[in-house]
């Protein structure tokens, strides 16, 4: 499902013919703020250490050594949508030793259509998820972000171990996972 989470490059997956993966839902969401501002000083060319810029409440989902320092992905600032109780907004922190990106993402927590809506800066990426289903290296980050948004008390836990909880919460574990990539901002 998700390619390299730091580059934002998705892996293409086949979708069912004629299937519109929540386009009406996606089009109705406010897409402003996909890229959040960087920490103070970064806009003036000052080098900011991403670790020092981590916001309060950041839950690090994974961290690994990289060239020149640590790479990390985390989440923070979960908020419920005022118009739809099954929709959440969450900030995703993408950290490299010399680069930092913060994305505002939209998550749908509905048991019938759980979804993560993201962007790589050029395209919108809609991923239908299957909480309680099989977790692989390709979909692990999607599920970690989904669980952190929908059930913050589960943030940072391995989604492979949350299948019994997912079923208890009404997720079948038998949904088909898919991805759809839509054209984004052409600026």
Strand partners, 54: none
Domain ranges for the chain: 50-183
Over residues 4-14, the pLDDT tens digits come to: 444 444 333 33
Q: Which two tokens stand for residue 115?
A: 């979804």
Q: CATH number of the domain at 50-183, out of 3.30.310, 2.40.128, 3.40.1360, 1.20.272?
A: 2.40.128
pTM of structure: 0.76
Q: How confident is the model at residue 101 (pLDDT cuts 50, 70, 90)?
A: very high
pLDDT of residue 7: 46
pLDDT of residue 95: 94
Distance in angstroms (rounded) separating the CA atoms of residues 180 and 29:
16
Please give the order of strands across the beta sheet that includes 178-183.
Answer: 59-66, 69-80, 87-96, 99-108, 115-119, 123-128, 178-183
pLDDT of residue 22: 43
Q: CA end-to-end span of the chain, whole Å?
A: 26
Over residues 134-148, the pLDDT tens digits come to: 999 999 999 999 999
78 three-class SS: strand
Q: Which of 11-25, 36-50, 60-74, 136-150 has the highest mean pLDDT?
A: 136-150
pLDDT of residue 69: 86
Q: How confident is the model at residue 39 (pLDDT cuts 50, 70, 90)?
A: low
Nearest to 150 by CA among 114, 102, 103: 114
pLDDT of residue 27: 37
């Amino acid at each position: 499902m998700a390619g390299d989470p730091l580059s934002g490059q998705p892996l293409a997956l086949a979708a069912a013919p004629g299937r519109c993966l929540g386009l009406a839902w996606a089009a109705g969401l406010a897409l402003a703020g996909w890229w959040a501002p960087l920490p103070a000083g970064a806009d003036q060319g000052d080098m900011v250490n991403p670790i020092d810029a981590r916001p309060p409440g950041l839950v690090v989902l994974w961290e690994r050594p990289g060239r020149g320092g640590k790479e990390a992905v985390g989440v923070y600032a979960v908020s419920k949508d005022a118009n739809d109780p099954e929709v959440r907004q969450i900030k995703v922190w993408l950290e490299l030793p010399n680069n930092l990106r913060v994305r505002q993402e939209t998550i749908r927590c509905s048991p019938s259509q759980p979804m993560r809506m993201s962007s790589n800066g050029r395209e919108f990426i809609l991923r239908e998820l299957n909480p309680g289903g099989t977790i692989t290296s390709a979909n692990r980050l999607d599920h970690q972000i989904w669980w952190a948004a929908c059930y913050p008390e589960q943030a940072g836990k391995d989604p492979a171990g949350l299948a019994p909880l997912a079923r208890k919460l009404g997720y079948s574990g038998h949904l088909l996972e898919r991805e759809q990539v839509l054209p984004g901002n052409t600026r």
